[in-house]
Amino acid sequence: MTQPKIAIETRHLTRKFGDIVALDDANISVRKGEFVALMGASGSGKTTLMNILTCLDSASSGEVWLDGVNATAFNEEERREFRARHIGLVFQQFHLIPYLTALENVMLAQYYHSVPDEPSARHALELVGMGHRLEHLPNQLSGGEQQRVCIARALVNEPPLIFADEPTGNLDEENERKVLETFQHLHDEGRTIIMVTHNPVLGGCAERIIRLQHGKIVS
């Protein structure tokens, strides 16, 4: 039985693409409320692992447990359902709708999940320090502000697991710092965060670093 305090656990997780073993017998365990950085060279398997953990892909063999649920054998619909309820995603590219305001972009995520609810969308934007920019369009916001709208969008449905793949990859230092502060604030609130990064400064801000090398977990 998986302990309820474990948010994410993989057992002998392997993902092959033809002859390529992108993920090789990976065992990881992440506690609820932990802030983990996932690091490794280009091609080491970070995105492959993230795609399986976020139910966008499934493994060739091994098991994945998310919030105590065995997600290994989910079919397409179960994966979609689980993702909507349990997972918030932040990408390097912002993927904001250009003709919708910050507030509307966040409310759109609610619409896809359940029903739009303006007060809680406002609250999510306030939480990431964007309460003063609700009516701005994406092109009226700085890169860091756009990324914080994306974080609000990932948070608004209250997912217990937050995944970010290179969330500051497109940002300058100042905006990187603000986005990082936002993640640290969310961590202080007790959310579980897994962040892929190449940046050792960002990695150093996490509680723990999981390192991948040629598809294997090395620490």
Name the site residues for ligand ATP (rule: CB under 6 A). 17, 20, 22, 40, 42-48
Q: What is the DSSP letter of 208?
A: E
Q: Please choose which of Mg ion, ligand ATP, none residue 105 contacts, taking the beta carbon within 5 to 8 angstroms, the exact cut-off set by kind.
A: none
Burial of 135 (0-12, 13-18, 19+ CB in 10 A): exposed
Tell me the per-residue interface mask from 7 to 46 with Mg ion, x by CB under 5 A, - otherwise: ---------------------------------------x
Query: Least distance to ligand ATP from the beta carbon of 168, Å?
Result: 14
Q: Please choose which of Mg ion, ligand ATP, none residue 99 contacts, taking the beta carbon within 5 to 8 angstroms, the exact cut-off set by kind.
A: none
Query: Least distance to ligand ATP from the beta carbon of 150, Å?
Result: 18
For Mg ion, which is the closer residue by CB, 14 or 47? 47
Chain positions 40 to 99 lying near Mg ion, rule: CB under 5 A, are 46-47
- Decide: 152 and 124 in contact? Cβ < 8 Å: yes
Q: How many residues does the chain have?
A: 219
For Mg ion, which is the closer residue by CB, 56 or 100? 56
Query: Least distance to ligand ATP from the beta carbon of 166, Å?
Result: 8
Q: Please choose which of Mg ion, ligand ATP, none residue 110 contacts, taking the beta carbon within 5 to 8 angstroms, the exact cut-off set by kind.
A: none
Report how far residue 79's alpha carbon sits from residue 58's, in angstroms, rounded to the nearest whole number. 9
Report how far residue 139's alpha carbon sits from residue 177's, in angstroms, rounded to the nearest whole number. 21
What is the token pair recorded at 216?
């294997």
Query: Least distance to Mg ion from the beta carbon of 46, Å?
Result: 5
Interface with Mg ion, residue 199, by CB under 5 A: no
One-letter amino acid for residue 173 of the chain: E
Query: Least distance to ligand ATP from the beta carbon of 51, Å?
Result: 8
C-alpha dihedral sign at 119, 134, 196, 43: positive
Q: Which of 7, 27, 24, 30 is nearest to 60 (CA)?
A: 24
Q: Please choose which of Mg ion, ligand ATP, none residue 200 contacts, taking the beta carbon within 5 to 8 angstroms, the exact cut-off set by kind.
A: none
- Decide: 102 and 150 in contact? Cβ < 8 Å: no
Instruction: Count the site residues for Mg ion by CB under 5 A.
Output: 2
- Decide: 125 and 150 in contact? Cβ < 8 Å: no
- For Mg ion, the binding residues (CB under 5 A) are 46-47
